[in-house]
Amino acid sequence: MSYVLGFLINPFFLLALILIAVHLLIKKKSPVLRLLFFNIISLLLIAAVFDNIFASLLIKKDNLFRTDHRYYHHGLKPYQDQMTKWGSFGSPYPVKTNSLGMLDASTREVPLKKQGKRIVIMGDSFVEGVGYAYEKTIPGIIAQRLAPKGIEVLDAGTVSYSPKLYYLRTKYLLEQGLTFDDLYLFIDIGDIQDEILYAYFVPAADTGSLFSERVALFYYQHSWLFRALRDRFSYRQENPRHDSSDYWGGFLEHYRVRPRWTHDEKEFERWGKEGLASALEYTDKLSKLLKDHEITLHLSVHPWREQLVWEDGTDRQQSAWGIFCVERGIDFIDFFPLFQGKEPVEEVIKKYFIDKDIHWNDEGMRLIAEELLKHIEGNSAP
C-alpha cells in the first residue's frame, strides 16, 4: 500500500474529513467554535501524518492473510495469495489459502463434503511450517504424496494454536458441514503456555463477518496508533496474562520460559500444571466430539531444541500425552525418538532446526513428514 493511499484511508484523516464536513454544515459559527474546529482538525491531520509514518516503519505488512475470529480466536483469511516472511532474517515465501482459510497449494474452493478419503492435519506454527512455502511443509509434502492415491489432505496448521483452539476450530468446521475421516493432531510444548494466554477467551456465536470487526481488523493491520490503543485498552484489559504482561515478566521473558514447564518444577507449579490440565481437558472434549462424528483422532508430540538439550529420556510432554492416549484408546505418535540418540545434540539441532529459531527447517519437516506418511499409509492399508 502506497504512503499516499495509507494517508487517505488513515482513521485520523477520515475523522478530520468528518469534522470538516460538520464544520461546513454549521451555518452560524462563533469565533470560539471556529478555533475549536481548527485546532481539533489540525491535531487529527498531524496524528494521521505521524501514524502513517509509524505504521509504514513498524507494522509488518506480510501478515495480512491472518485474521481474528469470534469463535476460535484467530486463523487465516480465505482466498489469500501473498508473500510473507518469518522472523527478521528469513526469506520471503508465498502463502495461499483455500476457501476454508487453510494453507493450500492454490486458492481453491474446498467442497465441504469429502469426495473420497480425507484427512486433516492440525497444529500450531510447526504444522503451518513458518518460513517455508506450502509444498515444503508437513501437510504439503504429505498432500503431494497421497494425492495419487485419492487421499485429500487439509492443512489446519495455524501459528499459536493450542488445545482450546484446536477444539473450537474443529467444532466450528464440523458445524459448517465439513466432513473428513481422520484428524492428525500435533500437540506442541508451547501449547501449554498458550492455554494460559487463551484462558480469558470466550467464543461468541458466529454471525458472519461483521462490518465493524472487518474495519477494526483492517485498522489494526494498518494503523500503528489504533493498534497501540486497542492493545492497551482492549486486549490487554481482557487478558491479564497476555504475552507482554507482568505475569511473565514481559514479552521476552514470556518466550524464555515457554518450554520450561517440562523440566523446571518452579515454572510447572506456577503455570504449567494449570496449562496442562486445560490442554488435557480440551483435547478430551475434542476426542469426544470426533468420536460423535465417527472421525479417528491421531495425536503426536515432538521436542523443541531445549528438550533435546535438557531432557534425557522421556519427558513430561511425552508422559502426559502418552497416558492420555492410552486411557482413551487414541493412536499416539511420539516423534521424540527421531531426534534423539543418533547424533550429537548440536548436530541434530543444526541439521533439522532453523538457525536461532525453535521451528524445524525444511529437512526437519521432511523428516517428520516421512515418518507420518508411514503411519498414515499403515492406517490406510486394507
Q: What confidence tens digit (pLDDT) does each residue in 116-145 have?
A: 999 999 999 999 999 999 999 999 999 999
Topology at the third CATH level for domain 66-201+239-380: Rossmann fold (3.40.50)
**H helix or E strand, kind and range, residue 337:** helix 336-339
Share the mean pLDDT of the chain: 91
Residue 300 scores a pLDDT above 50: yes
Full-model pTM = 0.89
Every domain of the chain and the residues it spans: 3-58, 66-201+239-380
Q: What confidence tens digit (pLDDT) does each residue in 346-373 have?
A: 999 999 999 989 999 999 999 999 999 9
The span from the CA of 187 to the CA of 123, in Å, is 7
Residue 382 scores a pLDDT above 50: no
The span from the CA of 88 to the CA of 128, in Å, is 18
> Residue 233 gets which letter from DSSP?
I
Q: What confidence tens digit (pLDDT) does each residue in 30-83 have?
A: 888 889 989 999 999 999 999 888 888 888 778 899 999 999 999 999 999 999
Rounded to the nearest 10°, the torsion over CA 300, 306, 309, 313 is -30
**H helix or E strand, kind and range, residue 232:** none
Query: 96 near 104, Cβ under 8 Å?
Result: yes
pLDDT of res. 312: 60
Q: What confidence tens digit (pLDDT) does each residue in 189-240 have?
A: 999 999 999 999 999 876 555 777 888 888 888 888 888 888 777 777 789 9
Query: 215 near 150, Cβ under 8 Å?
Result: no
